[in-house]
Amino acid sequence: MARQPAVYIMASWRNGTLYIGVTSDLMARIVQHRDGAFAGFTKRYAVNRLVWFAMADTMEAAITREKQLKVWKRSWKIELIETDNPTWRDLAEDWGFDPLPSS
């Protein structure tokens, strides 16, 4: 996958803790989340499963979408995830990432 702006949602497990982020390199960002490279929230709560993402044409568009999603109600975020990923599987596995242990 080439570098391209994206907004994404990571989860600790199904219906678990959610994190919404933006990046210009989704593959690299997944590695950082899985390696616990970010001290703080995502590392503390093991938020390392990619459950939803959307590519954007520009970084500005990705940031705008990220800001929209961050103020959504949790139920709306869950509905968004489950529309395309009803089982909350780790989408990173589609790109060759190893499966994470079950929680």
pLDDT of residue 103: 56
Q: Which residue has the tokens 């497990």?
A: 13
Can you identify the CATH homologous superfamily of domain 6-95? Answer: GIY-YIG endonuclease (3.40.1440.10)
Query: Sorting pLDDT into bands at 50, 70 and 90, what band is 102?
Result: confident
Mean pLDDT of 72-82: 98
Mean pLDDT of 41-65: 96
Phi-psi region of 29 (alpha: psi -120 to 50; beta: other; left: phi over 0): alpha
Average pLDDT, the chain: 94
Domain boundaries, the chain: 6-95
Give dist(CA 97, CA 103) in Å, integer. 17
Question: Would the pTM count as exceeding 0.75?
Answer: yes
